[in-house]
Structure 1
């Protein structure tokens, strides 16, 4: 039997919860379908030492300031999970956990959401599935002949798992720097390879500044002014305390990207070689949008063209939390609130016509 609601929100992480908060405030009937069996979104799957880029008060969803974590300026992933679980409960958001959305299809005047627990009929859909479920690994020559272990950021947990191993970490973003620092400070035999030399943001810059910069860039673009390049103009890596400690101790030196993998390690353009037991690919993610494929909206690089959060080719669909293309800093805790509010308002207006 097909269930009916005004809005289905796909994904119960930070973006889905922010959407639910604003839909609830507007009196819209909705349900949130989340593939995870417990609250917390992707944060419950991160590595042990992960830290936010901002203090708790500047990492909050709408309506509820994140409480500080005792003894920590920058909260860890477990603290975020607890906060999201409390947020879901505090606002009595109708999240159904353990439900995998398989497809969203047009069904006349409504959208049909097909899941492994039955179908839903909705007047609008908010897709808030993020990127964690779709890790990206580049097609580096020799990747298929390397005989050691290969894993992505999503599978890394702690440096103790790599004791007595030679590890190559690939990637010069925040994940690559944090995981490389985690391993280096634990004394693991580390090689860090990056596409370009690491660009650290100034030590006094954190997520508060990044949000303001991203917002200013979006405002400039909307007004037809020169692109400031936003956060990209400042650097690639936020110097959270563990990264700063490893950098200042001289154990976080990066090599250029290798040209190929061999059976036992990696080789560089100058002929040098590093033996490795494990390669950790900190090479980013792609938006998890396979459930939207039946709508035929995906364009270059798998993105769906949007006007704000609304899909350009489907007014009943909003995308939330995938990056700047769905709202300034919308993939962050502090940044998702504004686009979630805008999406909820547009949806309420659409449903009232």
Structure 2
């Protein structure tokens, strides 16, 4: 990727890079096309889409997680007459001024959104466990390298503490939040009521808005008819489906390769997938 004048590439630079990548390889991309359902008869997959059907002998499902935001179920959530949004729909604080906001989730999105929202209104932060803030000198790049080494059981000298990609990186907004003392965390509430939430000691507290920073799940709806999905996962060896020949799953998180739901992490497993597909066709060629 071309060097950036900034410490990290900007959103525009990343989009430009991906656009040039597409042009370089002249990918035959079908845009505005959603795969509604995948079925299989004998050795052939049929993909039913909003723009016609397709047949194939091998299929790579790489729909990732971004289209499937996860919100945990809480009793009486439908009774809450405030607003609930997931972090994927959060844009800015413009419509949150003077609203009392509950932010749920201990990861980087929760910490960063809390830092912003706390500047304009009253906030409270719910996490299942005490959040872990990385030292200032450990940024996203170091975190990724350390977690990568930990996952593959490689020795590392940079940072000895066990790391996770959910550990909170001290970007500037988080540093300001720490300085301003906004990161007081509370354990999960037990239910909703009309005006807010009910804590574990049965006390009630009103809120206007709940922002769920609770991550994402694999988007596998299109594969349901194959009957191989269990607990929103499909059993794989590396990225190859164990029970469905000709099917590979790329980019869904650690169960399909370390950090494979990230742009940087997916490449390692994708290369292996290509090799396996090549072998598959060589072994099944007529």
TM-score (norm. length: structure 2): 0.88
What is the rounded CA distance, in whole Å, between the counterparts of 2:121 and 2:17 in structure 1? 32
- State the match for 2:19 in structure 1: 85
Residue correspondences, number = 278
1:256 is the counterpart of 2:221:
no
Give the RMSD, CA atoms, in angstroms: 2.4
Matches of 1:229 and 1:310 in 2, distance apart?
Answer: 33
Pairing partner for 2:241 from 311, 329, 332: 311
Distance 1:320 1:210 in 2: 22
- 2:57 counterpart SS class: strand
Aligned pairs (5 A) from 1:186-265: 186-220=119-153, 231-232=163-164, 236-265=167-196
- Secondary structure of 1:85's counterpart equals helix
CA shift in 2, pair 1:150/1:293, >3 Å:
same
Aligned mates of 2:29, 2:162 — CA distance in 1: 34
Query: CA offset at residue 338 of structure 1?
Result: 0.9
Deviation at 1:203, TM superposition (A): 2.2
Aligned counterparts of 1:75 and 1:180: Cα–Cα separation in 2: 24
Give the 3-state SS of the residue equivalent to 2:279 in structure 1: helix
How has the CA–CA distance of structure 1 residues 309 and 230 changed in structure 2, closer, same or farther, with 3 Å as cutoff? Answer: farther
Where structure 1 has 5 or more consecutive residues not aligned to the other structure, the ranges are 1-64, 222-227
1:321 corresponds, among 224, 237, 251, to 251
- Match of residue 288 from structure 1: 219
Contiguous gaps of at least 5 residues in structure 2: 155-159
Superposed CA deviations along residues 212-236 of structure 1, whole A, max 9, x for unmatched, are 3343344349xxxxxx99643x863
**Whole-angstrom CA distance in 1 between matches of 2:237 and 2:220:** 17
Give the equivalent residue in structure 1 for 2:117.
Answer: 183
8 A contact 1:101–1:114 mirrored in 2: yes
Describe the SS at the equivalent of 1:242: helix
Distance 2:66 2:126 in 1: 22
Report the equivalent of 1:297: 228
Structure 1 consecutive aligned stretches of length 4 or more whose deviation exceeds 6 Å: none
Please give the TM-score of this superposition, normalised by the length of structure 1: 0.72
Aligned to 1:332: 262
Deviation at 1:107, TM superposition (A): 2.9
* Deviation sequence 1:319-340 (CA, Å, 0-9, x none): 1111111011111121111101
